[in-house]
Amino acid sequence: MTTPTNVNSSVPPITEDDIAEFLVNTPDFFERHAEVLSSITITSPHGHRAVSLHERQAEMLREKIKGLEHRIMDMVRHSSENTGIGDKMHDWARQLLAVKEPAKLPESIERGMRELYDVPQVALRVWGVNGVYAGEAFAQGVSDDARAFASSLTSPFCGANMGFEPTQWLPQATQVQSLALLPLREGAIDSTEPAFGLLVLGSHDPQRFDAAMGTEFLARMAELASSALNRLR
């Protein structure tokens, strides 16, 4: 006599995924079984106490709202900071436009960086200038390597002080922990035109000019400075 085969032996067990899929595809389940929904309790992440599903949903909603509030606060703060930078850039552009003698433009650019943007150390060099300005300090002490390096930059460089030659133009180069190098060229900063100058910004704070920071405003500053300094060529 043969033993009857268990017809259920080949049926796979029901998994949590099966239950979840059933509930998703059967939205009226809890309408027909409201007592099940009201009796479900889960562990709260705050104090590990048992709470109802409704309470847990309310907690999750409050956490989501709190996260959105933080994001909104960050957006408002960034917007305020960007507005402040934009206002300073406007003031800086006005100062540059008010300079009547071209030879005083480099000093005006450096002063604006220090006073408006609180950059501790600033240096500027320009080459290929008109012979009238060839003897000025801003047109001196730039090697061919430094010129080639400036031309290779198609966006502001930000990062740690790695001993680049232009860093030595700063008044207290040994104290600089981070710096920004802004190439100066005719037209857009990312154009193929060779650079005719370099603006160096140095800080004692290693995080002031971080390699991961956005450089959009720095690029606009470089282009404004380049347009003003074209009067020297």
H helices present in the chain, as ranges: 16-25, 29-32, 34-39, 53-98, 105-116, 144-152, 216-229
Residue 187 pLDDT: 92
Grade residue 54 by pLDDT with cuts at 50, 70 and 90: low
Structure tokens of 177?
Answer: 């922990």
pLDDT tens figures, 116-174: 999 999 999 999 999 999 999 999 999 999 999 999 999 999 999 998 999 999 999 99
What pLDDT, on the 0 to 100 scale, is given for residue 74? Answer: 72
Residue 50 confidence (pLDDT): 59
**pLDDT at 180 > cutoff 70:** yes
| Average confidence score pLDDT of the chain | 86
pTM for the full model?
0.67
